[in-house]
Structure formats: C-alpha cells, structure tokens
Amino acid sequence: MAEAFRVILLVALAAALLTTLALAFAWWMEPPRRMRRALLKALAAPPEVEAMSVGEGKACALNFDMEQVVVLWASGGHGLAYAFEEVDGGEIIVDGHVVARVRRGESRKALDVLAPDAEQVVLRLMFADARNPEFELALWDATSPAQTGSPGEALRLGRRWLSHLEALVRA
C-alpha cells in the first residue's frame, strides 16, 4: 500500500512539473514577448518608440542611440535594420486615406484628423531600399480579434512615430 502511494505521488509530481514547464514555455513563446525579444536583440538597446501588431506578426522600433529603425515580420522571425540615412519618411493611413505624412525633402502633412470610429489605422514607413521600400504596420484594425486599445490610442502612437521620424529626416 505504501509503495503504491509513493508511485502515485511520484507520477503526480512529475505531471505537475511537466505542466509547469509547459506553461512557462507557452508564456515565453507568446508572440508579443517573442517580438519584443527580437526587437531588443536587433537593436541591442531599449527602443525610444516601438509598435507591434500581434495579429499581423509585425513590429517596428526606433532607437536614437544606435541610429537604427528595425522592422520585423513573421512574428519576429524575419526583419531588417535600417540606418537613419535610409529612412525616407512615414505616413499614417486611416481607412485607406493618408492623413499625415513626413518625407525627406518635403514639408510635413500634419495629422489634423481625429477618427474615433476608424476601422483601420496603419503606419507606413518608407525606406531608400529597392527590395523593401516600405513597411506597413496596422496600429489599429477593428476586424482583428487580437486587437486591444482604440483608434485614438493608435493615432497617438502614429503621431509619436511621425514626430520621431520628422526629427531624424530633418537632421
């Protein structure tokens, strides 16, 4: 009887350990955590500003110390790092219409539209790269089941990105 109790106790402990390890692995591999780790690895320093679209598996970050803009896709599996000189500008697109723009050599088109009922808010980054001239990231998509926040928060994040981009293309 005592031997059977020990076997049952050992099996229960092994099951608890395996369950704990599986839960820790699942937590570690969650897409937002994985993308954030990939961003930090690509930049080698904490970013000034970052944006992620977990539903799309895309992320981008900017760091003034490293003078880099990093874009990731495929949940952080692939990405590119651009020097500030390679950044041509950026746009905020709301429901298919460009509402704000910053481009190298052009005057800024300021964000003067607030869209609290927007269906989609997209940040488009433009680069001097023939293979990958632009990178689009959905800051807000009402159709995405993984969407959190609001269109207003997405527009604020987009405005922040454009302010940073304007600072680096004007320098």
Spell out a b/e string for 146-155, using b for 16 or more CB atoms within 10 Å of the CB, else e. ebeeebeebb
Q: Average of pLDDT values for 158-168?
A: 91
Q: Which pLDDT belongs to residue 146? A: 67
Instruction: Judge whether 1 lies within some domain.
Output: no
Q: How far is CA 79 from CA 48, 69, 73, 139, 156, in A?
A: 18, 11, 6, 18, 25
Instruction: Judge whether 89 lies within some domain.
Output: yes
Q: What percent of the chain is predicted at pLDDT more than 70?
A: 96
Burial class (CB within 10 angstroms; exposed 0-12, middle 13-18, buried 19+) of 140: buried
Specify the amino acid at residue 162. Answer: L
Would you list the DSSP string of 49-110? EEEEETTTTEEEEEETTTTEEEEEETTTTEEEEEEGGGEEEEEEEETTEEEEEEETTS--B-
Mean pLDDT computed over every residue of the chain: 88
Q: Which pLDDT belongs to residue 122? A: 93
Can you tell me the distance from the alpha carbon of 127 to that of 124, in angstroms, rounded to the nearest whole number? 10
> What total of structural domains would you count in the chain?
1
Q: Which pLDDT belongs to residue 143? A: 81
Instruction: Judge whether 16 lies within some domain.
Output: no
- The predicted-structure confidence for 94-149, as pLDDT tens digits, reads as follows 998 898 999 998 877 777 777 777 889 999 999 998 899 999 999 988 887 666 77
- Is it the case that residue 69 has pLDDT exceeding 70? yes
57 Rama sector, left if φ>0, alpha if ψ -120 to 50, beta otherwise: left
60 lies in which domain range? Answer: 28-170
Instruction: Judge whether 165 lies within some domain.
Output: yes
Task: Give Cα 13 to chain centroid, integer Å.
Answer: 39
CB 134 within 8 A of CB 125: yes
Instruction: Judge whether 8 lies within some domain.
Output: no
